[in-house]
Amino acid sequence: MFSSIALSEPLETLRSVFGFPEFRPHQREIVDELLAGRDAFVLMPTGGGKSLCYQIPAMHREGVGIVVSPLISLMKDQVDALRANGVRAEFYNSSLGAEESRRVLRALHARELDLLYVAPERLMSEGFLERLSGEAIALFAIDEAHCVSQWGHDFRPEYVQLGALRKHFPEVPMVALTATADPQTRSDILEQLGLRQAKVFVAGFDRPNIRYLVQEKTKPFNQLVDCLERWKGESAIVYCLSRKRVEEVAQKLRLAGWSAAAYHAGLPSAQRSRVQEDFLRDDVRIVVATVAFGMGIDKPNVRAVVHYDLPKHLEGYYQETGRAGRDGLESEAVLLYGLSDAVVARQLVGQNANAEQRRIESHKLDAMVGFAEALTCRRRVLLGYFGEALDADCGNCDRCLKPVELYDATDDAYRALMAVYEVRQRAGVRLVIDVLRGAETDQVRRLGHHRLPTYGQGADRSTEHWASVIRQLIHHGYLVQDVAKFGVLKLTPKTRPILHKEQGLQLAVPQERIARRRSKRKPTADHAADDPLFQALRAVRKEIADAAGVPPYVVFGDATLKEMAARKPRTLESMLEVSGVGLHKLKKYGDRFLEAIVRNDRTGG
């Protein structure tokens, strides 16, 4: 036992320092592996509890645990959280001033640190490696290890240098951790980092507390607001593809009275840090962002993640949605999927000059579209992509909650395909729908389409209905969209039997109607938000956090406060039984929370 506060047994440290009663699956084995001085490779979903896997062994082994992390904000959060538990942690990166840097290095050489978080380029600088060579090192932990691989979706050149660590420190155990890695990336990570003997731990990727919903994008802003209404007063992230859209959506939300801020790489860095900080501290509830946002966000109480546009790959999508509900409480991921999204995305992929890259990207996009268009359990599709099979449908996605209703679409399909045929396979979706619905637009007149037999033959159905039918026809291979030619619709060999009325066809009832019907129902989510004691505890937490200049969850997570509100402990001993309450925090905050519980009881709350 070398840390100032670690106990003789990892389990004891878990309980007394971190306040958790038990290890989660795999955590104990990984800890033991590192304690024995061996390497490990950890593939665990976001929120799975990767951090403890190296934090505890770092506290139990001699020397300092060096943690490599790609983002500065991430380091600061982790260090804040560790220090709130009484662990001696620091970070060392370019955000520190000269004075601060010297202080951290002094602490390192005085052997006063359990954990040191370092940016990869700092760590691999000659000066720093030299410093380390004189020190006892408990372990190296490479967080977000997929950044080392060109196969991954987030390659970072500065990570490549980490390959040399093994040579410099052959004796020190190393653990690589990531939440996203397909088999190719996985073996690449092992190779690049020289982890040849490493035991591989793959934890289940399922995040059952996240409800996966995909909605046809019809009126995206209203759909977004619908979702936010379900999670009023809670934190949410909205992802958009372009900076322009980010600004637009954030602005509209603010005008509608929501607490929202924009975040993208084009904003001054001071502003970005402020947004991030405000979000972490619950001062801003909603962040509208490009994918630039989030890798540094380990906020456990994000309740909803909305994708306003189609992401480029399932890896990114999974990682972004994984930012919801890291505390294990009920949360929601909503994907708004528009008919043109896939077309635009394919055009972008097509522009990549590198054929190999184009092949990888196009493969990844196919999987993304397949998820968005799936008629079966979303989670099965998602986990299947990561090589994990579910035993049963999940029961917590839109497909499970409201199975697809099929209808006899033979006639709809006939009319739609006929319209495509009559415009001589030279029109995109919108024009075909205009023809079907008999729209009186300049374009229709100019092209003489108002004289076609199918003109107005589909006026009995809404635009959304036809969009859905056409999309399903594409999905099932009865139509293809020519990406190179602005998404022009073309018939396929499969089309023939339908045009000749030799074959019937079942399609899903267009979703828009289902969505409208459903949104009338009251949301069923159980919001502890109604519990006055929970609210009182939250208020106490916010006061403490603001006074200490840290995010509220660093004091206690929502799950801990909920359990506290349910158990209503009256003594410090019984408060210690609440998951998430360790000795250090008990001493620091216990009385304040006890007081709030007693007070709330008196007021009859």
| Residue among 175 and 507 whose Cβ is closer to ligand ADP | 175
- Contacts to ligand ADP by CB under 6 A: 20, 23-24, 27, 44, 46-52, 298, 300, 326-327, 557, 579
400 binds, among ligand ADP, Zn ion, none (CB under 5 to 8 A by kind): Zn ion
Is the CB of residue 299 less than 8 Å from the CB of residue 552?
no
| Residue among 214 and 586 whose Cβ is closer to Zn ion | 214
Shortest Cβ 566–ligand ADP spacing (Å): 16
| Residue among 178 and 185 whose Cβ is closer to ligand ADP | 178
Residue closest to ligand ADP, measured at CB: 49
Shortest Cβ 578–ligand ADP spacing (Å): 11
- For Zn ion, which residue of 372, 400, 431, 545 counts as binding (CB under 5 A)? 400
394 binds, among Zn ion, ligand ADP, none (CB under 5 to 8 A by kind): Zn ion
588 binds, among Zn ion, ligand ADP, none (CB under 5 to 8 A by kind): none
DSSP one-letter code for 375: S
Shortest Cβ 389–Zn ion spacing (Å): 13
Shortest Cβ 557–ligand ADP spacing (Å): 5
246 binds, among Zn ion, ligand ADP, none (CB under 5 to 8 A by kind): none
Task: Tally Cβ neighbours within 10 Å of residue 190.
Answer: 20
Is the CB of residue 336 less than 8 Å from the CB of residue 227?
no
Shortest Cβ 123–ligand ADP spacing (Å): 19
Shortest Cβ 327–ligand ADP spacing (Å): 6
- Which strands, in side-by-side order, build the sheet including 137-142? 89-92, 115-118, 64-68, 137-142, 174-178, 40-43, 199-202
| Residue among 41 and 371 whose Cβ is closer to Zn ion | 371
Which long-range CB contacts under 8 A does 484-491 form with residues at least 24 apart?
484/350, 486/428, 487/340, 487/343, 487/428, 487/429, 488/425, 488/426, 488/427, 488/428, 489/420, 489/425, 489/427, 489/428, 489/429, 489/432, 490/420, 490/425, 491/417, 491/420, 491/421, 491/425
Q: What does 285-353 look like in DSSP terms, one character per residue?
A: -EEEE-TTSSTT---TTEEEEEESS--S-HHHHHHHHTTS-TTSS-EEEEEEE-HHHHHHHHHHHHT-S
What track of x and - describes contact with Zn ion for positions 322 through 361 (by CB under 5 A)?
A: ----------------------------------------
For the chain, first and last CA: distance in Å?
Answer: 45
Is the CB of residue 67 less than 8 Å from the CB of residue 116?
yes
> Which spans in 95-177 are helix H?
98-109, 120-123, 126-133, 157-160, 165-168
The token pair at 63 is: 């020397």
**Binding status of residue 213 toward Zn ion by CB under 5 A:** no
- What does the alpha-carbon distance between residue 432 and residue 363 come to, in Å, rounded to a whole number? 28
**Binding status of residue 394 toward Zn ion by CB under 5 A:** yes
| Residue among 208 and 523 whose Cβ is closer to Zn ion | 208
Shortest Cβ 78–ligand ADP spacing (Å): 8
327 binds, among ligand ADP, Zn ion, none (CB under 5 to 8 A by kind): ligand ADP
| Residue among 455 and 553 whose Cβ is closer to ligand ADP | 553
Shortest Cβ 400–Zn ion spacing (Å): 3
- What does the alpha-carbon distance between residue 300 and residue 184 come to, in Å, rounded to a whole number? 30
Positions 358 through 377 that interact with Zn ion (CB under 5 A) = 377
Q: Which residues pair with 283 in a beta bridge?
A: none
- What does the alpha-carbon distance between residue 437 and residue 593 come to, in Å, rounded to a whole number? 63
Shortest Cβ 394–Zn ion spacing (Å): 3
| Residue among 66 and 381 whose Cβ is closer to Zn ion | 381
Residue type, 477: G
φ, ψ dihedrals at 576, nearest 5°: -65, -20
**Binding status of residue 303 toward Zn ion by CB under 5 A:** no
Where on the chain is the footprint of Zn ion (CB under 5 A)? 377, 379, 393-394, 397, 400
